A and B are shown apart, each in its own frame.
Chain A
């Protein structure tokens, strides 16, 4: 990766608050140059545009979405964790007894 590209990647990470401290000085220095400053401006413009201007009308769920989902969920087995499932009372005793007898 060439130096300019590498610096722009650091500026991209800096914009997201995800730049390691060790790279901070270099990225801040790059922001003094026109390429770095332009990247900073463009990356913010892109983010602001994506948030402010969705490509289509904002996606909306149909009014019966929740009811249809609830109907489907009603047919599903509950996702019980092992600990929540009633353990067969004999299982542990059976295993212990078997290991003791062998």
Chain B
């Protein structure tokens, strides 16, 4: 049986041998996943689509150097994330970095206070409010933390795969995912009426 990774590698080798149709198959396979990933960073759909298109062009140009040391999709995601990051920089929408005060940024979320004011347990538990809080906290996360948790929770990548995509050690992946969860969890606690642990 051929694994997904082996199947991708087979298609890559066909492209490298001159079969452009094989690249179309890879595009068809990954275009939606890439759009979903890029849309987490570039919110305008037309701009996100441009970034996806640019990602595939860059991948095609660089494919001659791809050796299959990593899976094709982790390589493609890496190009996609870097392309999205560059796009945000050129648009003047500076991609936040972990050198910034990530927790402070996340805690600047404007709606947090109004959500705390909702006082019936039923409404506090409403999934719509939870979704709003989670997504707003996500938006305020530094790019590195957001990327790590998106790759884990939405794309389902392993820590090892994320370390390949983000070009960082596995320990850094583990720490980034944890920090992202902590920031989001901190926003959720008041909604869920969990006691705040002062030792935290």
**Chain A interface residues toward B at CB < 8 A:** 2, 4-5, 8-9, 12-13, 16, 18, 34-35, 38-39, 42-43, 45-47, 49-56, 58-62, 65-66, 68-70, 72-73, 76, 78-82, 84
Q: Is A78 touching B18 in the complex (CB atoms < 8 A)?
A: yes
Chain A residues positioned under 8 Å from B158 (CB to CB): 16, 18
Q: Are B63 and A12 in contact (CB under 8 A)?
A: no
- Rounded to whole angstroms, the CA-CA distance of A79 and B17 in the bound complex is 8
A62 to B47, CA, bound (A): 12
Partner of B63 from the list A18, A55, A56, A79 (CB cut-off 8 Å) is A79
Q: Is B134 touching A46 in the complex (CB atoms < 8 A)?
A: yes
Chain A residue at minimum C-beta to C-beta distance from B152: A16
Q: Which residues of B contact A (CB under 8 A)?
A: 15-18, 20, 23-24, 27-28, 31-32, 35-36, 38-40, 43, 45-46, 48-49, 52-53, 56-57, 60-64, 127, 130-131, 134-135, 138-139, 149-150, 152-154, 158-159, 170, 174-175, 177-178, 181-182, 184-185, 188-189, 192, 194-195, 197, 199-200
Contacting pair A84 B153 (CB below 8 A): no
Q: Is the CB of B49 within 8 A of A62?
A: yes
Residues of B within 8 A of A45 (CB): 130, 188
Chosen A-B contacts, 13 in total, with CB atoms closer than 8 Å, are A9-B174, A12-B174, A18-B159, A34-B195, A35-B197, A49-B131, A50-B154, A55-B40, A59-B48, A60-B45, A66-B31, A78-B18, A81-B17
